[in-house]
Structure 1
Amino acid sequence: MNNPMLLAVRTLLKETFDGPEKNASWYTEAKPGNGLFGTLEKLSAEDASISVNGTTIAAQTDHTRYYLWAANSYLNGEEPRKDWEASWKITNVDKITWAQFNDKLQQEYTTLLKKIDLLDSLDEQTSNGLLGAIAHSAYHLGSIRQMIKALKVPSQT
Structure 2
Amino acid sequence: MSHHPMVMSAKRMIQEAFEGPADPQEGSYYVNTEPNSGVLGLLESISAQKASQDINGTNLAAHTDHVRYYVWGTNEILTGNENPKMQWEESWKIENVSDEEWRDLQEELRTEYKKLLEGVDRMKSIDIHTNEVLGSLAHTAYHLGAMKQMMKMV
Other-structure match for 2:23: 22
Instruction: Supply the AA of the counterpart residue of 1:150.
Output: M
Other-structure match for 2:93: 89
Question: Structure 1: where are the runs of 5+ without partners?
Answer: 152-157
Other-structure match for 1:154: none
Q: What are the superposed Cα offsets for residues 73-104 of structure 1, whole Å, 9 maximum, x if unpaired?
A: 11122221321101101100000100010000
* Aligned-residue CA RMSD (Å): 1.0
Other-structure match for 2:132: 129
3-state SS in 1 of match to 2:129: helix
Identity of aligned residues (%): 42
Distance 1:107 1:81 in 2: 21
Distance 2:120 2:100 in 1: 30
Q: What are the superposed Cα offsets for residues 80-135 of structure 1, whole Å, 9 maximum, x if unpaired?
A: 13211011011000001000100000000000101111111122x41111110000
Match of 1:46 among 46, 49, 64: 49
3-state SS in 2 of match to 1:86: helix
1:37 and 2:40 matched = yes
Other-structure match for 1:106: 110
**Number of residue pairs aligned between Structure 1 and Structure 2:** 150
- Runs (4+) of structure 1 exceeding 3 A deviation are none
Match of 1:73 among 71, 76, 101: 76
Instruction: Supply the AA of the counterpart residue of 2:71.
Output: L
Q: 1:60 to 1:49 in 2, by over 3 A?
A: same
Instruction: Supply the AA of the counterpart residue of 2:88.
Output: W
Distance 1:100 1:62 in 2: 11
Instruction: Supply the AA of the counterpart residue of 2:137.
Output: I
Question: Structure 2: where are the runs of 5+ without partners?
Answer: none
Q: Which moved more, 1:139-148 or 1:1-10?
A: 1-10
Query: What TM-score do you get using the length of structure 1 for normalisation?
Result: 0.92
Question: 2:16, 2:22 within 8 Å by CA — same for their partners in 1?
Answer: yes
Other-structure match for 2:9: 8
